[in-house]
Chains A and B, each alone.
Chain A
Amino acid sequence: MNKPILGAPDGEAWDTGAGSLGEVDRYTAVGKSPERVDALKLALGKGTYADDVALEGMLHLKLLWSPHAHARIVSIDTREAEKEPGVRCILHHGNVARIPYTTAGQGHPEPSPYDTFIFDKKVRFVGDRVACVAADSPEAAARAVAKLRVVYEVLPAVLDPQQALLPGAPVIHDEPEATGLPGFDKARNIAAAMDVDHGDVEAAFARAELVLERAYSVPYQAHCALEPHSAVTWLDEDDRLVVRVATQVPFHSRRILARILEVPVQRIRVVKPRIGGGFGGKQEILLEDLPALVTLRTRRPARLVLTRAEEIVSSRLRHPQLLRWKSGVMKDGRLVAQELEVLANTGAYGAHALTVQTCTAGKTLPLYRAEAYRFRMKTVYTNLPVAGAFRGYGGPQGFVALESHMDELAGMLGMDPIEFRRRNVVGPGDENALAQALGEGKEGPPQRFRSCAMQECIDRGMAAIDWARRPTLPRTGTVRRGMGMSCLMHGSGIPGVDMGSARVKLNEDGSFNLHVGATDIGTGSDTILSQIAAETLAVPVGKIVIYSSDTDHTPFDTGAYASSTTYITGVSVKKACEGARRQLEDAAAEMWRHRGDACDRAALFVKDGAVCRPDGERLSYADICLSTFYTHDQHQIMDHGSHMSFECPPPFAAHFAEVEVDTETGGVKVLKYVAATDCGVAIHPKSCEGQTEGGCVQAMGYALSEDLTFDAAGRTLTDGFRHYKQFSSLDLPEFQTILVPSFEPSGPYGAKSVSEIPADGPGPTLLNAIADAIGIRIRELPITPEKVRRAWLAKQAEEARS
Chain B
Amino acid sequence: MKIELKLNGKDVAWDCAPHEFLTEALRRHGLLGTKRGCESGDCGACSVLLDGEEVPSCLVLAAQAAGHEVTTIEGLGDFAGPHPLQKAFVDHTAIQCGFCTPGMVIAAKALLDVEPRPSEHAVRECLAGHPCRCTGYVKPIQAVLAVAATNAGGEAR
List residues of A whose CB falls within 8 A of some B CB. Answer: 33, 35-36, 38-49, 51-52, 54, 223-228, 274-277, 279, 305, 307-308, 521-524, 686-687, 689-690, 692-698, 720-722, 726-730, 732, 735, 737
Contact with A along B128-141 (1 / 0, CB 8 A): 11111111111111
A242 to chain B, nearest CB (A): 19
**Is B93 in contact with chain A by the CB < 8 A criterion?**
yes
Cβ contacts under 8 Å, B112 to chain A: none
Nearest-CB residue, chain B, relative to A527? B93
Nearest-CB residue, chain B, relative to A700? B136
Cβ contacts under 8 Å, B128 to chain A: 728-730
Cβ contacts under 8 Å, B77 to chain A: 44
A45 contacts B93, C-beta separation under 8 Å: no
A45 contacts B131, C-beta separation under 8 Å: no
A690 contacts B93, C-beta separation under 8 Å: yes
**Is B155 in contact with chain A by the CB < 8 A criterion?**
no
CB contact under 8 A between A276 and B40, given known A43-B86, A732-B136: no
Cβ contacts under 8 Å, B76 to chain A: 44
Cβ contacts under 8 Å, A47 to chain B: 98-99
B33 contacts A721, C-beta separation under 8 Å: no
> Can you list 6 residue pairs at the A/B interface with Cβ under 8 Å?
A35-B90, A51-B36, A228-B37, A694-B133, A728-B128, A730-B125
Cβ contacts under 8 Å, B97 to chain A: 225-227, 274-277, 521-522
Cβ contacts under 8 Å, B133 to chain A: 223-226, 277, 279, 694, 698, 726
A contact face: mostly helix, strand, loop, or mixed? loop
Contact with A along B83-103 (1 / 0, CB 8 A): 000110111110111111110
Q: For the complex, what is the distance from the CA of A286 to the CA of B79, rounded to whole Å?
A: 35
A694 contacts B135, C-beta separation under 8 Å: yes
Q: For the complex, what is the distance from the CA of A307 to the CA of B39, rounded to whole Å?
A: 8
A45 contacts B37, C-beta separation under 8 Å: no
Q: For the complex, what is the distance from the CA of A730 to the CA of B126, rounded to whole Å?
A: 9
Q: For the complex, what is the distance from the CA of A402 to the CA of B69, rounded to whole Å?
A: 56
Q: For the complex, what is the distance from the CA of A728 to the CA of B141, rounded to whole Å?
A: 12
**Is B154 in contact with chain A by the CB < 8 A criterion?**
no
Cβ contacts under 8 Å, B28 to chain A: 54
**Is B78 in contact with chain A by the CB < 8 A criterion?**
yes
B74 contacts A694, C-beta separation under 8 Å: no
A328 to chain B, nearest CB (A): 38
Nearest-CB residue, chain B, relative to A49? B99
A40 contacts B73, C-beta separation under 8 Å: no
Q: For the complex, what is the distance from the CA of A697 to the CA of B132, rounded to whole Å?
A: 10
A720 contacts B38, C-beta separation under 8 Å: yes
Cβ contacts under 8 Å, B140 to chain A: 729
A118 to chain B, nearest CB (A): 26
Nearest-CB residue, chain A, relative to B130? A729
Nearest-CB residue, chain B, relative to A277? B97
Interface centre among B39, B78, B95 (most CB of A within 10 A): B95
Nearest-CB residue, chain B, relative to A39? B90
**Is B67 in contact with chain A by the CB < 8 A criterion?**
no
B45 contacts A698, C-beta separation under 8 Å: no
Nearest-CB residue, chain B, relative to A311? B38
Q: For the complex, what is the distance from the CA of A277 to the CA of B134, rounded to whole Å?
A: 7
CB contact under 8 A between A721 and B74, given known A42-B95, A694-B136, A729-B141: no
Cβ contacts under 8 Å, A223 to chain B: 133
**Is B72 in contact with chain A by the CB < 8 A criterion?**
yes
Q: For the complex, what is the distance from the CA of A722 to the CA of B42, rounded to whole Å?
A: 6
Nearest-CB residue, chain A, relative to B41? A722
Cβ contacts under 8 Å, A36 to chain B: 90, 93, 95
- State the 5 A-B residue pairs at the shortest beta-carbon distance, nearest first: A45-B33, A522-B97, A42-B98, A276-B99, A693-B136
**Is B35 in contact with chain A by the CB < 8 A criterion?**
yes
B contact face: mostly helix, strand, loop, or mixed? loop
**Is B105 in contact with chain A by the CB < 8 A criterion?**
yes
A693 contacts B138, C-beta separation under 8 Å: yes
Cβ contacts under 8 Å, A305 to chain B: 36
CB contact under 8 A between A44 and B82, given known A226-B97, A308-B39, A694-B96: yes
Cβ contacts under 8 Å, B87 to chain A: 43
Cβ contacts under 8 Å, A43 to chain B: 82, 86-87, 89-90, 95, 98, 101-102, 105
**Is B43 in contact with chain A by the CB < 8 A criterion?**
yes
B101 contacts A721, C-beta separation under 8 Å: no
**Is B127 in contact with chain A by the CB < 8 A criterion?**
yes
A259 to chain B, nearest CB (A): 29
B45 contacts A226, C-beta separation under 8 Å: yes
A277 contacts B90, C-beta separation under 8 Å: no
B135 contacts A226, C-beta separation under 8 Å: no
A227 contacts B96, C-beta separation under 8 Å: no
Cβ contacts under 8 Å, B72 to chain A: 45
Residue from the list B31, B95, B125, B136 in contact with A39, Cβ < 8 A:
B95
CB contact under 8 A between A42 and B101, given known A36-B95, A728-B128, A730-B128: yes
**Is B34 in contact with chain A by the CB < 8 A criterion?**
yes
CB contact under 8 A between A690 and B135, given known A44-B77, A720-B38, A729-B128: yes
**Is B124 in contact with chain A by the CB < 8 A criterion?**
yes
Nearest-CB residue, chain A, relative to B138? A693
**Is B60 in contact with chain A by the CB < 8 A criterion?**
no
List 8 additional A-B contacts (Cβ < 8 Å) besides A226-B99, A728-B137: A36-B93, A49-B35, A276-B99, A689-B139, A693-B135, A694-B96, A696-B136, A722-B42
Cβ contacts under 8 Å, A726 to chain B: 131, 133
A13 to chain B, nearest CB (A): 35
Nearest-CB residue, chain B, relative to A281? B133
Q: For the complex, what is the distance from the CA of A87 to the CA of B133, rounded to whole Å?
A: 36
**Is B32 in contact with chain A by the CB < 8 A criterion?**
yes
B7 to chain A, nearest CB (A): 14
A39 contacts B89, C-beta separation under 8 Å: yes
A246 to chain B, nearest CB (A): 10
Cβ contacts under 8 Å, A224 to chain B: 131, 133
A45 contacts B90, C-beta separation under 8 Å: no
A516 to chain B, nearest CB (A): 18
Within 8 A of A (CB), among B24-66: 28, 31-40, 42-43, 45
Cβ contacts under 8 Å, B43 to chain A: 226, 308, 721
Cβ contacts under 8 Å, A51 to chain B: 36
Cβ contacts under 8 Å, A687 to chain B: 93
Interface centre among A33, A43, A524, A689 (most CB of B within 10 A): A43
A313 to chain B, nearest CB (A): 14
Nearest-CB residue, chain A, relative to B32? A52
B34 to chain A, nearest CB (A): 7
Cβ contacts under 8 Å, A721 to chain B: 38, 40, 42-43, 131
Cβ contacts under 8 Å, B132 to chain A: 226, 694
Q: For the complex, what is the distance from the CA of A763 to the CA of B74, rounded to whole Å?
A: 40
A726 to chain B, nearest CB (A): 5
Residue from the list B37, B79, B96 in contact with A523, Cβ < 8 A:
B96
Cβ contacts under 8 Å, A52 to chain B: 32
Nearest-CB residue, chain A, relative to B91? A35
Cβ contacts under 8 Å, B45 to chain A: 226
CB contact under 8 A between A44 and B78, given known A36-B90, A694-B134: yes
Q: For the complex, what is the distance from the CA of A51 to the CA of B28, rounded to whole Å?
A: 12
CB contact under 8 A between A33 and B93, given known A40-B82, A45-B34: yes
A308 contacts B38, C-beta separation under 8 Å: yes
Interface centre among A44, A224, A697 (most CB of B within 10 A): A44
Cβ contacts under 8 Å, A727 to chain B: 136
Interface centre among B35, B73, B139 (most CB of A within 10 A): B35
Cβ contacts under 8 Å, B129 to chain A: 728
Nearest-CB residue, chain B, relative to A685? B93
Q: For the complex, what is the distance from the CA of A123 to the CA of B92, rounded to whole Å?
A: 47
Nearest-CB residue, chain A, relative to B34? A45
Cβ contacts under 8 Å, B131 to chain A: 224, 226, 721, 726, 728
Q: For the complex, what is the distance from the CA of A598 to the CA of B110, rounded to whole Å?
A: 65
Interface centre among B82, B138, B140 (most CB of A within 10 A): B138
A563 to chain B, nearest CB (A): 15
Q: For the complex, what is the distance from the CA of A308 to the CA of B37, rounded to whole Å?
A: 7
Q: For the complex, what is the distance from the CA of A274 to the CA of B102, rounded to whole Å?
A: 15
Cβ contacts under 8 Å, B31 to chain A: 45
Cβ contacts under 8 Å, B102 to chain A: 43, 45
